[in-house]
A and B are shown apart, each in its own frame.
Chain A
Amino acid sequence: MPDIKTIADKADIIVNGYAFTRKEDGIHVLNLNSPDKAVVFSADGEVLETTMDDIELSIASSYLQQNLKYMED
């Protein structure tokens, strides 16, 4: 079980329970309500690795597209 509080604190943004964290290899997303569901997006929004099903993946992807502007430095 990951340390949810630390991940939430370090996240760039949290949208509807999904913590988005920008790292060197891409954007890491964790479902804080279900911490075994996570995804890593590349810088251009492509899915690199995931434990989510396709429906949750499309939800997380749409949150990323809508809120990417708030993650830019």
Chain B
Amino acid sequence: MLSEGLGFTFGNSSRYYGYSVRLVRNAEQPDNNRLNPMERRPSFFRVAFFWWFFEEKSYDLDCYLYFCTRIEEQMSERNNIETKENEAVLSSSGGFTAFNFGNYHIRFKAPYSLEHYVDVVKWDDGYLVVLAKYSHNAEPEEEYIDLKPILAGLYIDSAAFLKPIKSVRVAYA
């Protein structure tokens, strides 16, 4: 910033005719309005406007950042439960056990104290042996799930549905 009374000028003449910096006593401040918009000093009103704008929009900005984070979480969740060919995915949320395969997202009531599934021990044509973590036990316990009656209750042809499934994994393993 130039100080009043003493300053440097970088006039066109000095640039084109080989002069270097000219030291000028009592140099005037350049007219702010005649400067390039990028070089102008921001006016009080401009600063005030931006201050008001960010104060006013800070909530929207927070919301935007929150939803960006949520979308990222949901994308990773979706990637996690996305099934590969011949592989089904088992998970639990909101008091339900979810079994995902292809376009089917089957949910059924889980035991009330279930925290999450740890591992799939065995998959035998609709019969699952899994290790599950319950809130009342520090160690994972074996749990047995038979999908056939569940599929029958939901009008799904169990033979056709189960035939392509070769393995099952836990979503957050």
A interface residues, Cβ below 8 angstroms from B: 1-2, 7, 25, 28, 30, 35-36, 38-40, 46-51, 53
Contacts and interface: CB of A to CB of B under 8 A. Distances in A.
What are the 3 A-B residue pairs with the smallest beta carbon separation, nearest first?
A49-B108, A2-B155, A38-B154
Interface of B: 103-109, 150, 153-157
A49 B109 contact: yes
B154 A51 contact: yes
Contact of B154 (A1, A46, A50, A53): A50
A56 B104 CA distance: 15
A20 B19 CA distance: 94
A40 B157 contact: no
Contacts of B105: 51, 53
B110 to A, nearest CB: 11
Give the one of B105, B150, B153 with max A CB within 10 A: B153
B155 A49 contact: no
Contacts of B154: 38-40, 49-51
A1 B105 CA distance: 16
Nearest to B154: A38
B103 A36 contact: yes
A35 B103 CA distance: 13
A35 B154 CA distance: 9
Contacts of A30: 155
A36 B157 CA distance: 10
A54 B130 CA distance: 26
Given A36-B103, A36-B104, A49-B150, A2 B157 contact: yes
Contacts of A28: 153, 155
Nearest to A28: B153
Nearest to A39: B154
Contacts of B108: 48-50
Contacts of B103: 36
A72 B153 CA distance: 21
A48 B107 CA distance: 8
A47 B108 CA distance: 8
Nearest to B105: A51
